[in-house]
Structure formats: structure tokens, C-alpha cells
Amino acid sequence: MPPNSHSDAGLADGLLDGFEERADHVTEEVLRDGTVKGDYYDAVHESLVAKGLVLVQGPRGCGKTHMMRYTWLVCRDDKTQPLAIYVSFNRYLRLEPLLRKRPDALTIFQAWTLSRILQAADDLDKALKGKKFDILDSFDLDRASIDKLIGRLERGLSVSDRDEEIVKALTIDGVADAIEEMATFHKRKRAIILLDDAALTLTPEYLVEFFDIVRVLKRPRLSPKASIYPGTTEFGPRFHANHEGKTVTAWLPVEHQTYREIMGGIAQRRFPESSTIPSEVNDYLKYAAFGVPRAYLAMLREWKAGNYATTQQGLNTIIQSHNDARKKEFLSLGLKMPRLATLVKVGDTFFNKCVETIREANENLGDKNEKQIMFGLESSSLEHLTDRMINLLIEAGLFYEHPQVSHGGPDRTYRRLTPHLSALIAVRAFSSKSKGTSHRAVVEFLSRPSTKHPVRRQIDTLLGQATLNELKLDLPPCQVCHTARMSEGQKFCHNCGSKLVDDSTFTRLMKLPFDEVPRLTEWARQKLVDNHIRVIGDLLSLQDPGTELRKIYMVGSKRAERIVTAVESYVDEFVS
């Protein structure tokens, strides 16, 4: 249940009668006694404790922060566990104005990130029993100086001369060395850094820099763990997610064999009053929460606080509020990141089509004692932009993605997705002709075994080729002040007056073949084309270009970095 996310519209406030839904605010007692043990979440915990870099993925509210803080607490109190430092970067957006004010903004951001890590390490040192290490002494710093630097940067104040000295003194290797020394001092074999809110998606410049820091921090005795989002986290050319470590999903799938038991256990520990709610209502809300504990707890509290005329009326109201909140969160991605606005708009239509497809599939099951909640998209029918659009829907929690499978040969693989169950419930996708549309009938329907195969579709049959042709990354903001343009034909920035790249120029740039990029070899150009990356826009639309390029035969990390750097340098020169 991660921080820095929006509470569900129409649901109760986050704090009521001492109850706190957000994992970044709960007490240590709640973390210790309110964490459900089970094979699924145990596996997430074990990944966080293990050696190596781990990226913890999932939508807001699924449990990333809770598991990180729980792991930090377990390790703190057990000397046989690694030294665990937990640090949150949920205030990163406060440093965004520096990008427009200072040419060394990335250097200052790096110092802020390292200061945050040192601050958290110092807090841990004070909490551990026995002698104190004083990690700040390794840099001839004191806690007051670090706190002042962080405070000034997060409040947008100008930095002092002393702050400038700290910025120069802090290095990634220096911090890594100090943490390893701290682990040895406290007789821990190794250390882990739990980097929460690491998806700095609203400042892509900082996001790339952040994962460069993560890459350098990784050592045999030091393992970073970072929480990310599947749609908007961009790693940059030097960080290759699949190569640097592994990705773990903290999102409990509704098809998990003990799904209802795990969700029920969360409610028993975090909201004991749930035991007074009728079991069929409780199970209905478990499914509607779609594996997101925060949503489930919020809906339980809304049910207890409500004064509904009938059970069904109350459940319909709660489900509608939850659906509206999920849709609003997804649509907000287009406002937060304007270049993704078209992908978000088309993604909304795509999601609705998929929901209707599942509803029709269940209707066609007739009297079969089965349910259909999954559809498969043939991978060959997906382009880079459609893949990115789907990833944004996954990030917002509207799709749960299952592992890809092959049907009918190695060239026929499918992305398998389950739409949010509350959206399916809202369109009566689980209505039984014999038992009606009551909450009991829905729970009974969802308790059935799933059909053997998903509903298989190609994306053009769902959206139409004309709509797919409209997919694009939207026009860039002003290159000088980063203000979004007001219209496609705008020639000059209305904020700072700088000349803008006009729509036709940018469109032409995105459609240019790699023959135009002088620093690319003929071999590299051919490899890109052979792998359906035909023009500059194809490469720039990839969520993680470095990782995708490394999937090409004979393309390693260094060669991938050279290709991405060559293309990005050409684009920068083109629009300058």
C-alpha cells in the first residue's frame, strides 16, 4: 500500500477512528502484527531480503510499501538478517523546479538522493542496539547539515555555501562504501537498501539519473531494491532492467488459490470489524478490490459506515465509486505526462472494449459451470505504442497481466490480461441466468473454475485500424521552460517566448529512418529494422529502449547504450 497515491474517490478518509490504510503511515506495531503471512507475500519478502537488485512492481495500493517497511522492521530486529535501510523518495517532485533554474540540477538531485539514503541509515543506526557507527562521520558531516540541505531543497529554497560543499562531498561510491562499513560494524554480512517511491515518473530527467544511482550502488554485499510502475517508469540507456536484476510483482492475483483467505487475513488483522460483515458481502468486496489491499480495506470501511436501504444498493454505490476512482487515476496519467495523452485516451476506449468482450464471452458460456475473466492478445499484432498503452493500463491497476503463453507454435504468443473485476461486475459480466445479478450470484459465478483458454483477439479487431493509426507520442513541451504548448500550430512558447518545434517538423522527425542518424553503423540500422524498429519514433516510444535492444541477437549492454545515445543525440541536435 504505497505512499504518494490518491485515495479512492467516494470512499472514507484514510484515517478514521485510529485506522490507517496507508502503509507509509502505519505504526511499527501494525507492521509487525498486521502483516499477513502466506506463500505469496512471503515470496515478496524473501526477494527483498535476498542478494541482488530487485524491482518491485505493481499498481498503487497493492502492497509495495507495506512489504518494504515490513522487511525493514524484520531485518532491524533480527541480527541474522541483512542490514536494511528503508528510504522513501515521495518528495522528489519538490525538486522539479531546479531543472528550470540551475544547470547542475541533476548533480543536486543526486546529492539529495544520497543525503536521503544517509539520513535513513543514520536513523537505523540510532535504532539498533549497541554501539553507534555514525555513518555521517565518514564524510565529515553532521546530521543537522544533512537535514538542512534536504529541507532547503524540498522547500525550494536557495542552497547555502555549506550545502554546496555537501553536494561536492557526496559520491555514490562513497555512500556505498560507508553502508558496507556500517554493515560490518553491526556484524551484518551484507546490506540492502529499500528504495520506496522510486518511480519518479513526473520528472523523467530525474528518473533516468535515479536508476543510474541504483546501478552504481549495486555490489556483492549491497543490494538495492526499488519500487516501480509498469507503464511510466523509464530506466534510461544505461540501466537494463532485465539484466541488472529481477522484477517481482507485489500484486496478488485474483486467481491465486488462496486469494480469498489472504485478503480475509488482511482484513482480520487491519480491520477486525470486518468479521461482522456478512460473508457473501465480504467475498464480493474481496473480488471487487482486484487484489489491492488498500482498496479492499477502504471498501470494507465504506460498507460499515454506510446506511444503505438495501444490501445491493450499498454494494452498487461502493463499486461505482471504486470504478470512477480507478478510471480517474488512469486518465490523470494523460494530464501528468502530456506526451502520453493520446495513449491514455485510446487506452480508455481499449479497456472498455475488453470489458465488453469478457461480458459477451461469459454470456456465451450458457449453462457451463465455468467463468471467463481473461483475454489474450496476439503479440505479433502489437506495436511498441500499443504495448506501452497496455502497460499504462496495468500501472493504473485496470489490467492484471499473466505470463505469456504460446498457442499453435512459437510464433504465436499471447499477452494474457484480466480486466479489473469491479469493471466487469459493473457491466454484469458475471450475471447468471438462473441465479440473477445479486451479490451472492456474482460470488458464486466467480468461484467457478476458469475456462481452459482466454478469449483470443487481435488488437485491430478491438480498436479498428483507423484508431490504431492515431496512436502517437504527443507533441513535446517547450525545450527551454518545459511548458506544454496550447495548440498544434503554436510557433512560440506562450510562457518564455522560445521558438517551438512545429507539429509537422516533429512528426517528420519521428518518421525519419535510421539512415539519417550518422553515428549508427549499417549493421545496427539493419538489426533495428529486422526487429520492427523501423523509424526514430519506434525506438523513442519504447518504455525501456536499452532492455528491448538487448533482446536482439549480438546486442549487449554497451552496444545498446551506443545505439540509444546516438539516436537521442541526433534528436537533440535536430530540435535545438
**Per-residue cell: 566:** 546516438
- Under DSSP, the state recorded for 190 is -
What is the pLDDT, as a whole number, of residue 18? 43
DSSP string, 167-200: HHH--HHHHHHHHHHHHHHTT-S-EEEEEET---
Mean pLDDT of 391-403: 92
Mean pLDDT of 202-231: 89
What is the pLDDT, as a whole number, of residue 436? 60
Report the SS3 class of residue 232.
Answer: coil
What is the pLDDT, as a whole number, of residue 17? 43
Model confidence pLDDT, tens digit, residues 147-184: 999 999 988 888 899 999 999 999 999 999 999 999 99
What is the pLDDT, as a whole number, of residue 542? 84
Residue 127 pLDDT more than 60?
yes
Query: Rounded distance, CA 510 to CA 538, Å?
Result: 8
Among candidate residues 85, 92, 51, the one with its CA nearest the CA of residue 195: 85
Model confidence pLDDT, tens digit, residues 281-335: 999 999 999 999 999 999 999 999 888 889 999 999 999 999 998 998 899 888 7
- Number of other residues whose CB lies within 10 A of the CB of residue 269: 14
Mean pLDDT of 444-462: 92
Query: Rounded distance, CA 274 to CA 283, Å?
Result: 11
The pTM assigned to this predicted structure is 0.80
- Under DSSP, the state recorded for 432 is B
> How large a percentage of the chain has pLDDT more than 90?
54
What is the pLDDT, as a whole number, of residue 474? 82
**Per-residue cell: 58:** 505493481
DSSP string, 202-229: T-HHHHHHHHHHHHHH-BTTEEEEEEE-
Q: How confident is the model at residue 489 (pLDDT cuts 50, 70, 90)?
A: low
Residue 19 pLDDT more than 50?
no
Model confidence pLDDT, tens digit, residues 507-550: 667 788 998 888 899 999 999 999 989 998 888 888 788 888 99
Query: Rounded distance, CA 385 to CA 473, Å?
Result: 8
- pLDDT: which is higher, 487 or 497: 497
Mean pLDDT of 22-35: 72
Query: Rounded distance, CA 330 to CA 309, Å?
Result: 32
Q: How far apart are the first and last CA of the chain?
A: 42
Residue 237: partners with Cβ closer than 8 Å, 6 or more residues away: 545, 546, 560, 561, 564, 565, 568
Residue 242 pLDDT more than 50?
yes
Report the SS3 class of residue 570.
Answer: helix
What is the pLDDT, as a whole number, of residue 20? 54
**How far, rounded to the nearest angstrom, does the alpha carbon of residue 364 sit from its chain's CA centroid?**
35
Model confidence pLDDT, tens digit, residues 224-240: 999 988 767 777 777 77
Please state the φ and ψ torsions of residue 89, each to the nearest 5 degrees: -115, 30
Among candidate residues 3, 172, 190, the one with its CA nearest the CA of residue 83: 190
